[in-house]
Amino acid sequence: MDDLSPELKDKLTKVCLCKGISRATLKKAISHGADTLEKLQQATGAGSGSCQGRRCTPKLLELLE
């Protein structure tokens, strides 16, 4: 996977596994103004899966930093 572009890696990397939401989708939402955890979750649906955000919330917060 090392020879893939960063953009392609973002598309292939699922941050929220429950909902299948990629890092690319999350970055796009952030660039469109989702600047808090709540806004990011609302815009993408991340955190609303069966784990209730237990797995993805720390990663969402990292992306928001």
Helix (H) or strand (E) holding 60: helix 57-64
Helix (H) or strand (E) holding 18: none
**Cβ 13 to ligand FES, closest distance in Å?**
13
- Residue 5: count of CB within 10 angstroms of its CB: 8
**Cβ 55 to ligand FES, closest distance in Å?**
4
Q: Using CB under 6 A, list all residues that contact ligand FES.
A: 16-19, 46-47, 49, 51, 53, 55-56
**Cβ 17 to ligand FES, closest distance in Å?**
4
User: Torsion angle of alpha carbons 56, 29, 24, 21, nearest 10°?
Assistant: 40
Residue 5 or residue 58: which is nearer to ligand FES going by CB? 58
